[in-house]
Amino acid sequence: MNWDMVGIWLGALTTLFLYSFLYRDNPFYKFAEHLFVGMSAGYWLIYSVFNVLIPNWWDRMLPEGGGFQWVWLIPGVFAVFMLARMVPKIAGLSRFALAMIVGTGAGLNMVTFFQSNALAQVKGTIFSVATGGVWSVFSSLVLVVGVVSGLVYFFFSKAHTGMTGRTASVGITILMVAFGASFGYTIMARISLLVGRVTFLLEDWLPTIPRLFGIGG
């Protein structure tokens, strides 16, 4: 059996099943949708076992050279606690695991977001003030005014009236330009995905139809 051809047909059929939704919701779409969810979950689970749990936990707890590294029992127990959520009587145990995840994430995020997304951005804005040509100075000015007025717009502890209101109004204007750019990019992203699938159907799958029926060699 030509497994490459089978693979292309499997991909094409599931693609067409999903596109049938464009006409209306139907059993073909539902079939493919449910299959996708199940297979994706299976994939995720297997990769977590083979790429994370076995090398990063099991092999360390029970190394090849022998012995039992008991300290690795701790994260294992915490991971099992996570599953306790499925059993109402012991669901409270899952809080221990959740607390560890949330605490670690919060500690890391607090410093890194402040460093990269606040301080570095403020610094970048201050140092953007250019000394080049007129256009460069104008651009720097737009950047600085845009960031400051945008931040004023997000500052709700003071009523947006008077000077604050006028600055916030400039902020909204800059934000509108940014959101417009985001919209333009979003359109591009969605169309790109469609181009990818249509290319697959037209260039990979369609040529297999004559071959399947023995036409054109």
Binders in 153-192 for another protein, by CB under 8 A: 153-154, 171-192
Residue type, 73: L
Angle between helices 73-83 and 94-112 (to 10 degrees): 110
Segment interacting with another protein (CB under 8 A) among 55-63, 157-165, 209-217: 55-63
* Distance of alpha carbon 104 from alpha carbon 93, whole angstroms: 18
Segment interacting with another protein (CB under 8 A) among 81-89, 158-166, 207-215: 81-89
Segment interacting with another protein (CB under 8 A) among 85-93, 159-167, 208-216: 85-93
93-122: contacts with another protein (CB under 8 A): 94-118, 120-122
To another protein, the closest distance from the beta carbon of 210 in angstroms equals 16
Within a 10 A sphere around the Cβ of 32, how many other Cβ atoms? 19
To another protein, the closest distance from the beta carbon of 161 in angstroms equals 19
CB nearer to another protein: pick between 187 and 212: 187
* Distance of alpha carbon 154 from alpha carbon 133, whole angstroms: 32
Query: Total binding residues for another protein by CB under 8 A?
Result: 132
68 lines the binding site for another protein (CB under 8 A):
no
CB nearer to another protein: pick between 119 and 211: 119
Within a 10 A sphere around the Cβ of 89, how many other Cβ atoms? 7
Q: Which helix (H) or strand (E) holds 14?
A: helix 3-19
* Distance of alpha carbon 150 from alpha carbon 166, whole angstroms: 11
